[in-house]
Amino acid sequence: MIRDRVVQATAAALMLAGFVWLGYFTVRTNFLQVFSLFLILFALYALVLWRNPFFKNIWMALCLALLFRLALLFMMPNLTDDYFRFIWDGLFVANGSNPYLTLPSAYIHGTPLSVPGTSLFLYGRLNSPDYYSVYPPVCQYIFGLTAKICGADIFWNVVMIRIFVLLSECGSMALLYKIARQLNAPVNNILIYAFNPLVIIELTGNLHPEAFMIFFLLMAIYLLMRGRQILSSLSFGMAVGAKLVPLIFLPLLIKRLGLVKSLKYFAIAGAATILLFLPFISLQSISNFTTSLSLYFKLFEFNASIYYMARWIGYQITGYNVIAFSGMILAIISFLAIIIISYREKMLTWASLFSHMLFCATVYLLFATTVHPWYLTPLIAISVFSRYKYAVVWSLLIALSYSAYQTLPYSENLWLVAIEYVLLGMWIIYEILTTRAQVLPVKEVDWGAKQDVSM
């Protein structure tokens, strides 16, 4: 036992060093170093969680998880350049301008740089200057507040946004603890999320707003478990206001709440989302936002699975890339599959809810044209309370996608993409065939009643 704890303590110390090395001393063009560090971090992650953790209590463990995140407080995001758009949008919001109304490229070339802080330097680092912002209002408020505090200073904008991410992560880990207590599940399960290297690097390190969405989504689930449906629906609206992805989980609530209550839940969540958008709403901004979302399905492609097979077939038949219509067709198929998953759910337990949320999110990503590594972070949070843990395996395999950044312009190695999804598919089949016992209680739930909780 003492030897196990020494091994785990050493692994935790090495894990901290690994995060610092990956965060401060690694560039994404060096794929060998990036992937090697992810492999090492995941091996240490497994050692830290091996058998009985060396922590005296769960709060010591969560403090260590927070330390890993705090170690990245002053790093500049090194695996993404999305943060430049966060700052650009934030400068618009901070100065009373609408980030959904003006293309960065049109703004630069058509009119003087009248928004304080915007510059050709910042513009030159935007990865999508010809597209309207696709970041929903919760993100815009955070970016705007950050720019209001820090002005045009890129470094301090990054640090301030990271503080908001850290607060969200602290909230998410606290909610995972509360949900575990609610379910009478082992609280150590939440360390699957708290220590996951992809979660730490992509959310705290690279500032992706999935952190905000995960927090509000977990809050919505927890409040629903407590029978506080109105507050839950408001929190769900906030989750949608951070990222639109949680909309795919709404069908799972219809059988649980019943038609009348679910419609009320949807209406309140929709009203909350509209209120968040209200300061930015105009016919033009709605058109621009939806246009950018549509282009996401029609133009962008990265680390896809089913879509890449459809694209290959399309090339054989037509001789050109069929993404313009295949992306939308796959999105429709994904939506129909999610409806079927929700309809066919039989046992309405909390374990079933988390497992079916995991299935819905997995279907969404498998049919997507673009699957960036940080897209997996909500799946890892959900899988904490599911008997299926393939999202954790995927969070390592998806590190292969960083190989695309070795060259300029970026170019994917489709062999590595194939390896990622073949291994993932094999692991999912293995879990389906070998997983039998329910990890969580399987008693039926009265979804309309307040649940008894011992905190």
Cα radius of gyration (the chain): 22
Q: Give 282: exposed, middle or buried? Use CB within 10 Å, 0-12, 13-18, 19+.
A: exposed
Tokens at 198, concatenated: 């992809």
Please report the DSSP string for 66-125 in residue order.
HHHHHTTTTPPP-S--THHHHHHHHHHHHTT--TTT--HHHHHHHS---STT--HHHHTT
| DSSP for residue 451 | P
pLDDT, tens digit (0-9, with 9 covering 90-100), for 198-241? 999 999 999 999 999 999 999 999 999 999 999 999 999 999 99
Q: Give 259: exposed, middle or buried? Use CB within 10 Å, 0-12, 13-18, 19+.
A: exposed
Distances (CA, A) of 250 to 202, 258, 339: 26, 12, 10
The answer to which of 3-7, 13-17, 64-68, 140-144 has the lowest mean pLDDT is 3-7
The answer to which of 57-71, 109-123, 358-372, 413-427 has the lowest mean pLDDT is 109-123
- The answer to the question of residue 445 being in a domain is no
Instruction: Compute the distance between CA of residue 314 and CA of residue 20 in angstroms, rounded to an integer.
Output: 44
- The answer to the question of residue 118 being in a domain is yes
Instruction: Compute the distance between CA of residue 454 and CA of residue 440 in angstroms, rounded to an integer.
Output: 17
Q: Report pLDDT for 444.
A: 36
pLDDT, tens digit (0-9, with 9 covering 90-100), for 276-328? 999 998 888 888 888 887 777 677 899 999 999 999 998 888 878 777 788 88
Please report the DSSP string for 273-309 in residue order.
HHHHHGGG--HHHHHHHHHHHHHHHHH--BS-SHHHH
Total number of domains constituting the chain: 1
Contact 134/292 with Cβ under 8 angstroms? yes
Q: Report pLDDT for 440.
A: 39
Instruction: Compute the distance between CA of residue 174 and CA of residue 271 in angstroms, rounded to an integer.
Output: 27
Tokens at 260, concatenated: 């009348």
pLDDT, tens digit (0-9, with 9 covering 90-100), for 239-285? 999 999 999 999 999 988 989 999 999 999 999 999 999 999 888 88
Instruction: Give the other-Cβ count within 10 Å of 168's Cβ.
Output: 23
- Residue 379: which of 410, 356, 358, 408 has the closest Cα? 358
Contact 302/401 with Cβ under 8 angstroms? yes
- The answer to the question of residue 454 being in a domain is no
- The sign of the torsion formed by the CA atoms of 355, 358, 362, 364 equals positive
Q: What percent of the chain has pLDDT over 70?
A: 93
283-321 per-residue burial string, b: 16 or more CB within 10 A, e: under 16 = eebeebbeebeebbbbebbbbbbbbbebbeebeeeeeee
- Asked whether the predicted pLDDT for residue 51 surpasses 70, the reply is no
Coil, strand or helix: which one is 216? helix
How does residue 403 score in pLDDT terms, banded at 50, 70 and 90? very high
Instruction: Compute the distance between CA of residue 364 and CA of residue 353 in angstroms, rounded to an integer.
Output: 16
How does residue 50 score in pLDDT terms, banded at 50, 70 and 90? confident
Identify whether 409 is preceded by a cis peptide bond (ω within 30 of 0): yes
- The answer to the question of residue 371 being in a domain is yes
- The answer to the question of residue 442 being in a domain is no
Please state the length of the chain: 455
How does residue 7 score in pLDDT terms, banded at 50, 70 and 90? confident
How does residue 112 score in pLDDT terms, banded at 50, 70 and 90? low
Supply the range of the domain harboring residue 305: 2-434
- The answer to the question of residue 439 being in a domain is no
Contact 13/48 with Cβ under 8 angstroms? no
Q: Report pLDDT for 289.
A: 86
Coil, strand or helix: which one is 370? strand
What average pLDDT score do residues 122-128 get?
91
- The answer to the question of residue 443 being in a domain is no
- Residue 281: which of 289, 269, 292 has the closest Cα? 289
Contact 390/428 with Cβ under 8 angstroms? yes
- The answer to the question of residue 440 being in a domain is no
- Helix runs in 184-282, H state only: 191-194, 197-199, 210-225, 229-242, 251-257, 259-277
- Asked whether the predicted pLDDT for residue 161 surpasses 50, the reply is yes
* Placement of tokens 């901070």 in the chain: 94
Instruction: Give the other-Cβ count within 10 Å of 343's Cβ.
Output: 11
